[in-house]
Amino acid sequence: EASVTVATMTAFAEVTNFNGADMLAAEWDAQAEVIDPGKMPITRIVNTALDGVAKDQRSVFDDILRFAGTDMLCYRADSPEGLVARQNEIWNPVLDWAQQTLGARFILAEGVIHQEQPEEALSAYAEGLRAFATPLGLTCVHTVTSLTGSALLALAFASGRLTAEEAWTAAHVDEDWQIEHWGTDEEAFRRRENRWQEMQAVAAVLDALR
């Protein structure tokens, strides 16, 4: 069964210009008698693209676009001053990139009150997202959107504007601020580490797609 799965995903990789068949094989070769999906992040990503996204790309595309309409980067703290400054320092360059490169000008808001984004901004974002409108491409962007809470960070990362580390740091501005002042706990630390491993797997898949 394992060899059939590898063969299927390898064939999928060949027709989608994914140059990571060796990474898939390495994950399977590393398995012992009992297969542990938790240690096969690249296989999970490709499997999601094959069994899920490929069957309904439009809904995944639209889901990412909905995230962009309420993007985390557009909702800013009004205090404390240090957090406001850090959000501006790390998030503003991403919004500048979206405006200058995509033609997408997003509107900022303070607090959590919903801010309707201009249709022009969302249309421009959608145009940028179309560069990744393949099963694997959309799987990667959607995964990063879920991991970071930001469709803007996901597209900037997929487009090469941000590294994985930069996107990860930007996604955790608020959380890191809280940790610096109040600390964290072991369970939260482990959850974040697990998500980071998934982020690194996405980075490897995107590298193989380029």
Structure tokens at 39: 């240690």
Q: Would you state the structure tokens that stand for residue 176, as one six-digit string?
A: 């890191």
- Token representation of residue 8: 């299927």
To the nearest whole number, what is the mean pLDDT of the chain?
Answer: 88
β-partners of residue 76 are 110
The encoded tokens of residue 129 equal 């997202």
| Residue 59 banded pLDDT, cuts 50, 70, 90 | very high
More confident residue, 80 or 11: 80
> Could you tell me which residue, 11 or 59, shows the higher pLDDT?
59
The pLDDT, as a whole number, for residue 163 is: 97
pLDDT at position 68 over 70:
yes
Distance of CA 142 to the CA centre of its chain: 6
Q: In 3-state terms, what secondary structure has residue 208? A: helix
User: Is 74 in contact with 108 (CB distance < 8 Å)?
Assistant: yes
Q: Is the pLDDT of residue 196 over 70?
A: yes
Residue 21 burial (10 A CB sphere; 0-12, 13-18, 19+): middle
DSSP 108: P
**DSSP codes of every residue in 130-187:** GGG-SHHHHHHHHHHHHHHS-HHHHHHHHTTSS-HHHHHHHHTHHHHHHHHHH---HH
Instruction: Give the model's confidence band at 138: pLDDT under 50 very low, under 70 low, under 90 confident, else very high.
Output: very high
Which of 141 and 9 is assigned the larger pLDDT? 141
Instruction: State how far the Cα of 64 lies from the Cα of 87, in Å rounded to an integer.
Output: 22
**H/E run at residue 10:** helix 2-15
Task: Choose between 32 and 168: higher pLDDT.
Answer: 168
pLDDT tens-digit profile of 14-27? 445 565 667 776 77
What pLDDT does residue 15 have? 45
